[in-house]
Amino acid sequence: MARPLLLQPARIGSLALPNRVVMTTVKLGYAGKDGQATDRHLAFYVRRAQGRAGLLTTEPMYVQPNGKEIPSQLGIYDDSFLPGLERLAGAVHQAGGRIMAHINHAGRAANPKLVSPENLVSASAVPCPANKAVPRPLEKKEIQDLVEAFAAAAERAKKAGFDALEIPFSHGYLVHQFLSPHTNKRDDEYGGNFENRFRFGREILQTVRDRVGPDFPLVVRMNAEDHFQGGMTLDDALRLARRLEEAGADALSVSSGTMCETPPFCLYPIGTPKAHLLPAAAEIRKNVSIPVITAGRIRSPQVAEEALREGQTDLVGLGRAFLADPDWVRKVEEGDEEAVLLCAACHQGCLFELRKARGTSCMFNPLTGREGEIRIEKTGAPKRVLVAGGGPGGMEAALVAAWRGRQVTLFEKENRLGGQIFLAAKVPTKEEFADFVKWQALMMERAGVDVRLGVEVTADLIEELDPQAVVLATGGRPRIPGLPGLEETRWTTAYDILAGKSRVSTRTAFVVGGGTVGLEAAEFLARQGVEVTAVKRKPELAASMDPLPAAVFLERLKKEGVQILTGYAITRFQTDKEGNTTVFARPWPEREGEPERAFPAETVVIALGLEPENRLAREIGGRPGVFVVGDAREPREILDAVWEGFEAGLKV
């Protein structure tokens, strides 16, 4: 059998790589406010080096303080950063890896909470829709200062021991702001035609090359397309690629989108296309003789291998895939691709946690970002553990406990595993969540977990088996409102719709509750041709999701024609003799002079969240060694269930 192209060696300039997989830059947020590298950084990158990634790329390191995006970002604008960066590069090398420094200035995409208005700069005074800030145009002297800042940062990267350097001419950051006619309105030698707009970037590359020498690999990240009217197109990208090679770039890393206008095409949340940059990358590759790296939701080894075999790219870029599974490459080397834990692009554990100032992690891999804190090690005692519930929390608890050497039996009352994540996978665009259920089931099988389906755990069963520890992951049940007239209506729950336990055969449906599950059921029905109206009290929509995938989700709902009304509380249902139902709702909070509203409803869908299924917890409450996780403790998100299951698995 031929060795996969993924595992064949490659070169970027003078740098030899053992395989064709590059971990692209991912914002981590592990630094302090001073921007210094921390032990958390070292543990994170060392773990990916141990997983045999061909080349790691650091998170963006800002070359000037006014180019900073997040409070806890790595810096490289001063020699004081050198000791920490030397430790980082050295630790990766000791682990057998290679690491590339990514240096950047965010320009108008910088964080206005960190950068004063007078220091927020760009090519021109074009507002950034994402942060609502208006930058001021850079003066010529400041442009030269920035060229020097990039060159000095590059010099530090080389001195610190990094193996290569990457500079973004992409994503709507400062160099891209000069390149794009959308953001560059200058009338001096840095604006106007393409060559003038390219001048700033070209000067950076030339000055950097002068400082680091001819043999230090230099990679430029570039957009295949900006994905908005007036932005840069593939034709622009082809021209830029040729000029970048002429200017001395050793490789091109292809991405897309801008952080101001089109962040979904920079950060690729769930609902955005998978691996869709490959055709454009293939065109860029035809126009240059240097290697091309391509990223953009290339999540599986199969897709990556096919892209290489079809000549669409020379190397494959993976970002969040390495958050989910640091051993992505090692498993491919061992021919164990089914064991790869695939990223679902949910953003819940990575970008959402980063926004909360807790640093990047992963919903499916609670070890991400905690590599230096936790080791899952075998224990000497084969303790008997019973897990009640085969949802994501229960499976995670069973798996971690089994990895530690416990004798684990997992019971699930349904005839399938998955719990709420099984329902999530039924939602349009969230099919990838099913991969996590498959992965957990496979890992439990390999770890020796005894899985028994179709068995509901009772207090008597626990007494009979007498385990030394019990994990209750019994989930939640739909909250049904005690409102007048509900029982006389044709009604079901959002959960039963997604589970396939009920179908909506009417032309219209009325969703009571506009939380995430209610809106996901609304989309599910809308795609079946049902006209859907959803009503909720609070104004926030999809508040439990990271804002970026939430925005993509709400835009899809709009396109599907789902009508969402906020600020109303359902009060009662009324069904006439012909079976026609009317739903009544009052303004919430009550607004003087605004009357109760009436909505026709052929089918009512209840989506008011869950309440804990904790009867068993109450019945065995006095028993020692009992852990309650996930919705059984308090209905929340899949992330909470997985992470609590992980913690329980460490403790039992």
**Which residues belong to the active site?**
173
Strands (E), 529-580: 531-536, 563-566, 568-575
Q: For 485-533, where are the alpha helices, taking DSSP H only?
A: 494-499, 516-526
Question: Which residues does 547 contact at the CB level (< 8 Å), separation at least 6?
Answer: 355
Give dist(CA 583, CA 493) in Å, integer.
16
Give dist(CA 153, CA 397) in Å, integer.
45
Q: What is the 3-state secondary structure (H, E, C) of 298-343?
A: CCCHHHHHHHHHCCCCCEEEECCHHHHCCCHHHHHHCCCHHHCCCC
Burial class (CB in 10 A: 0-12, 13-18, 19+), 112: middle
Q: Of the candidates 362, 360, 372, 364, which has an alpha carbon nearest to the alpha carbon of residue 59?
A: 360
Q: For 117-184, where are the alpha helices, taking DSSP H only?
A: 140-160, 174-179
Give dist(CA 316, CA 303) in Å, integer.
10
Question: Which residues does 501 contact at the CB level (< 8 Å), separation at least 6?
Answer: none
Tokens at residue 647, please? 């913690």
* Spatial contact of 368 and 360, defined as CB atoms under 8 Å apart: yes
Rounded to 5 degrees, φ, ψ at 555 are: -65, -40
Cα 117 off chain centre by = 30
Strand order in the sheet with 604-606: 491-493, 604-606, 508-512, 531-536, 563-566
Give dist(CA 465, CA 471) in Å, integer.
14
Burial 58-69 (b: 16+ CB within 10 A, else e): bbbbbbbebbbb
- Do β-strands 581-587 and 568-575 pair in parallel, antiparallel, or remain unpaired? antiparallel
- Positive or negative, the CA dihedral 373, 43, 392, 353 is positive
* CA-to-CA dists, residue 370 to 79, 170, 356, 385, 404, angstroms: 28, 30, 16, 25, 18
* CA-to-CA dists, residue 615 to 284, 302, 474, 581, angstroms: 60, 45, 9, 34
Q: Which residues pair with 255 in a beta bridge?
A: 223
Encoded amino acid at 439, one letter: W
Task: Determine how many CB atoms are found less than 10 A away from the CB of residue 28.
Answer: 26
Tokens at residue 211, please? 């400082």
Q: Which SS3 state, helix, strand or coil, does residue 130 take? A: coil
Longest dimension (CA), the chain: 85
Burial class (CB in 10 A: 0-12, 13-18, 19+), 463: exposed
Give dist(CA 309, CA 313) in Å, integer.
9
* CA-to-CA dists, residue 439 to 56, 412, 504, angstroms: 25, 17, 32
Q: Of the candidates 459, 523, 517, 512, which has an alpha carbon nearest to the alpha carbon of residue 481?
A: 512
Tokens at residue 523, please? 């989309």
Tokens at residue 228, please? 């908005």
Q: For 561-633, where are the alpha helices, taking DSSP H only?
A: 615-619
Rounded to 5 degrees, φ, ψ at 378 are: -65, 140
